[in-house]
């Protein structure tokens, strides 16, 4: 172990543990890139098959400077939700994506994103379509290659009036980023000009779907390397 993280409260630790648990569910050997500066921790992961980067942030009780790639499973095992702490595992050799992250700045909000309910409905409809088309395949075409082709066709479709592919919304839903907001505090009217709770941003060749629970980033189709930032792992 290389150090300890102390979160602002137990809820931050629990939310991080939930995120790590979902990553490990999809890939038991998953790695995550950790970056911390001051009182915030950013955790980057790449769930397989979604072709996106998932980002979860957590508030820290004590300032920390950190930048390394670790095992998601080891970090998950070290999270103590009651104490609101986590031990930082030793670094691992990062996968290629861990050295290429979205830009830190230059993000601008873009219009055309449907509301959360419509986004969840779009994912449900796409899943139902995939299952229906898969079941309709004749026996001689029931292959992994054909299923992958159908999946690429469906999940590459864009959402609403945006360039955001459905696979990014599917990833956000699967990782728990699109769940309804529950609060005992009555909702307040947002101040004029305040950002939407769920919003889409663009920076160079990147798109980022931001929600109160985390973000999903993906490159625009045909965007090339654009403003990718390669950082030491």
CA separation, residue 72 to residues 88, 106, 172 (Å): 10, 29, 18
pTM to 2 decimal places: 0.86
Please state, in angstroms and rounded to a whole number, the distance separating the CA atoms of residues 108 and 177.
20
pLDDT at 205 over 50: yes
pLDDT 10s digits, 56-110: 999 999 999 999 999 999 999 999 999 999 999 999 998 999 988 999 899 999 9
- Share the mean pLDDT of the chain: 88
Delineate the domains of the chain, giving CATH numbers in brackets. Answer: 3-101 (3.10.150), 108-182+193-230 (no CATH)
Q: Could you identify the residue written with the tokens 């648990």?
A: 21
Strand-pair partners of 44: 33, 55
């Amino acid at each position: 172990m290389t150090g300890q993280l102390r979160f602002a409260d137990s809820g931050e630790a629990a939310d991080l543990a939930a995120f790590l648990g979902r990553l490990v569910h999809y890939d038991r050997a998953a790695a995550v890139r950790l970056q911390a500066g001051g009182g915030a921790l950013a955790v980057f992961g790449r769930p397989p098959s979604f072709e996106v980067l998932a980002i979860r942030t957590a508030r820290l009780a004590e300032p920390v400077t950190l930048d390394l790639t670790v095992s998601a499973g080891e970090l998950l095992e070290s999270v103590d939700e009651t104490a609101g702490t986590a031990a930082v595992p030793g670094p691992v050799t990062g996968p290629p994506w861990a050295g290429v992250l979205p830009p830190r700045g230059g993000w601008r909000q873009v219009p055309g994103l449907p509301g959360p309910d419509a986004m969840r409905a779009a994912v449900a409809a796409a899943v139902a379509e995939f299952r229906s088309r898969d079941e309709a395949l004749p026996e001689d075409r029931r292959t992994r290659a054909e299923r992958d082709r159908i999946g690429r066709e469906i999940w590459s479709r864009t959402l609403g009036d945006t360039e955001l592919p459905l696979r990014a919304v599917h990833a956000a839903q699967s990782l728990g980023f699109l769940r309804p907001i529950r609060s005992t505090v009555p909702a307040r009217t947002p101040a004029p000009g305040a950002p939407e709770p769920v919003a889409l941003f663009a920076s160079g060749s990147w798109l980022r779907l931001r929600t109160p629970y985390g973000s999903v980033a993906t490159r625009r189709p045909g965007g090339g390397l654009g403003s990718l930032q390669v950082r030491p792992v």
